[in-house]
Structure 1
Amino acid sequence: MVIYKILNNNLILSRDGQGHEVIVKGCGIAFQKKKGQQVEESRIEKIFTAENAQISKEIQGYLTAIPEKYLDFVEAFVNEVKEKEGMKLNDSIYFSLSDHIMGAISRLENGIRLQNMLLLDIKQLYHKEYEIGLELLKKVNEMFEVDLSADEAGFFALHFVNAEDGGKTDSYQISIIVHQILDIVEKYYDNMEFQEDNLYYQRFLTHLKYFAQRFLHKELHYDENQELFKIIKEQYREAYGCVKMIYLMMEEEYKYAMTEDEMLYLTIHIQKITEDHKRLKNL
């Protein structure tokens, strides 16, 4: 393959046989190389194909921002799962899962543990993915010498759900609620346009679908984590302000008062997606 652009010693841009831009990963693949030169096939570890230029930029951003130790670990685990379970997974899982593991370990080092409000639902709805999440949790704790809780197994499982081909179906009512919430976020942030293929947007969308599903099935009863909620709403004030608008909508439209845990996780998701939106604008 010919080097189109060097991202770092381990990453290059190239083109496949159809002329589509691809991102090629390999240890030292670009070391002492220049644009236009060939790379040794033996050094290629993984080839990522992007659907469009925007997704390519996002993938480049993740690959250059996430340490190799997380990317390599996730790549090995996901490939093992694909082979063992026969699962067809979108390449997005390599980045989203690496980013999540990195963030979870970082939060743990700062004394923050997130409770997974969806854990029981995930166990019931996505048993196979949850079992994979448990296995991944065990390996993460062993590999990085940490003590992440079982809540993370549920979060890990959702990455596999999101990445599975075919996806899951949602009702019309769920779609209406999700649309109303997205509309509030867009208007609150000056008509911010969501990139539908954005990884953080997909994670946010999944959270909203579960929220709407649990609301419609009257399954929204969780323990309050007041201390963490207080920290998050102070740290992410703008995102929390947006969540308060969502709270008012749910109260007025559906006569439902959101819990602090629901507001907590919405605040975290909105903060993450808006941070990523700003980052992409500066690429």
Structure 2
Amino acid sequence: MVIYKILNNNLILSKDNQGHEVIIKGCGIAFQKKKGQQIDEKRIEKVFVAETAQISKEIQGYLTSIPEIYLDFVEEYVNEVKEKNGMNLNDSIYFSLSDHIMGAISRLKQGIRIQNMLLLDIKLLYHKEYEIGLDLLQKVNETFETDLAIDEAGFFALHFVNSQDSGKTDSYQISIIVHQILDVVEKYYENIKFQEENLYYQRFLTHLKYFAQRFFHKELHYEENGELFQIIREQYKEAYGCVKMIYLMMKEEYEYDMTEDEMLYLTIHIQKITEDHKRLQSI
């Protein structure tokens, strides 16, 4: 390959055999080099393929604005995850995760901590990715001598969720099942108008989105909480009645029998929404 443009001593812009722009990373790969010269392939560490000129510009922006200490750390960690877990991740994770880690550490130095309101949902519905997030959090804190909170493990996990190239269900399929469940809830509570900006409602929507995504990929993972389910079912009878209607819809539409744990978490979410609605109405 030929040097098309030198971005810095470690980054070169070139083109592959199909004419797509590629960004090539390698320690000192552009040192004392000029446009038009051949690239020393022995120095190539990573090749990022840009499908469009816009994507190429975005990749260049990330690579030139994020310190190499973060990029190198993430590249090594992500490659280990790929090899260990057999995960097929697209290149976007190298940039998005590096940028996130850099930003999180910077915010912490300014005394800013961001609470992850979806931590429980992520932990329950993306178990494998959450475990990776926990491991990454520990390594980040050790490597950069910082003290990022456990909330970041959830944020890290979502980077691995969003970067998987495993043929994820498209947004249309997800939106269909989410709409079907919401329709059941709204008909069951016909006298309640849910507020979309309500925090509990937003968490419920997120839960449904993750549930639908996992359902279509047969990747639903829950820990068994049979005893807790019995308690919740008795304590929140109205919300559980709504969940039973959702169960019947899933059975009829998809021939799927929801597990007790799936019903448990839906019951808790619906109970929180209705309790908060009643609280707001009494003010």
* Counterpart-to-counterpart distance in 1, 2:12 and 2:162: 27
Query: What is the SS of the residue equivalent to 2:138?
Result: helix
Give matches, 1:174-253, under 5 Å: 174=178, 210=206, 213=209, 219=269
Deviation for aligned residue 1:13: 0.6
Map of 1:87 onto structure 2: 87
Q: Is the 8 A contact 2:14 2:24 kept in 1?
A: yes
Map of 1:170 onto structure 2: 174
Deviations 1:59-81 (Å, cap 9, x if unpaired)?
Answer: 11111110100000000000000
Query: What is the SS of the residue equivalent to 1:111?
Result: coil
Give matches, 1:93-112, under 5 Å: 93-112=93-112
Map of 1:57 onto structure 2: 57
* Counterpart-to-counterpart distance in 2, 1:27 and 1:220: 53
Question: Which has the larger Rg?
Answer: 2
Q: What is the TM-score normalised by the length of structure 1? A: 0.63
Q: What is the TM-score normalised by the length of structure 2? A: 0.63
Query: What is the SS of the residue equivalent to 2:27?
Result: coil
Map of 1:266 onto structure 2: none
* Counterpart-to-counterpart distance in 2, 1:35 and 1:104: 37
Q: Is the 8 A contact 1:88 1:164 kept in 2?
A: yes
* Counterpart-to-counterpart distance in 2, 1:209 and 1:10: 43
Letter in 1 for 2:28: G
Q: Is the 8 A contact 2:5 2:14 kept in 1?
A: yes
Q: Is the 8 A contact 1:115 1:151 kept in 2?
A: yes
Deviation for aligned residue 1:221: 9.2
Deviations 1:115-172 (Å, cap 9, x if unpaired)?
Answer: 1111100111100000000110011001000010111000000000000112245132
Deviates more, 1:161-170 or 1:59-68: 161-170
Deviation for aligned residue 1:42: 1.3
Distance 1:208 1:54, change over 3 A: farther
Map of 1:152 onto structure 2: 152
Distance 1:40 1:154, change over 3 A: same
Letter in 1 for 2:206: Y
Q: Is the 8 A contact 2:21 2:50 kept in 1?
A: yes
Query: What is the SS of the residue equivalent to 2:269?
Result: coil
Distance 1:158 1:219, change over 3 A: same
* Counterpart-to-counterpart distance in 1, 2:118 and 2:79: 26
* Counterpart-to-counterpart distance in 1, 2:69 and 2:14: 23
Query: What is the SS of the residue equivalent to 1:219?
Result: helix
Deviation for aligned residue 1:28: 0.9
* Counterpart-to-counterpart distance in 1, 2:57 and 2:85: 30
Query: What is the SS of the residue equivalent to 1:128?
Result: helix
Deviation for aligned residue 1:50: 1.2
Q: Is the 8 A contact 1:175 1:209 kept in 2?
A: no
* Counterpart-to-counterpart distance in 2, 1:149 and 1:103: 14
Map of 2:9 onto structure 1: 9
Q: Is the 8 A contact 1:92 1:163 kept in 2?
A: yes
Q: Percent identity of the aligned residues? A: 73
* Counterpart-to-counterpart distance in 2, 1:90 and 1:137: 21
Unaligned segments of structure 2, at least 5 residues: 181-202, 211-245, 247-265, 278-283
Distance 1:143 1:208, change over 3 A: farther
Deviation for aligned residue 1:21: 1.0
Deviations 1:188-233 (Å, cap 9, x if unpaired)?
Answer: xxxxxxxxxxxxxxxxxxx99727749x9573899xxxxxxxxxxx
Distance 1:41 1:213, change over 3 A: closer
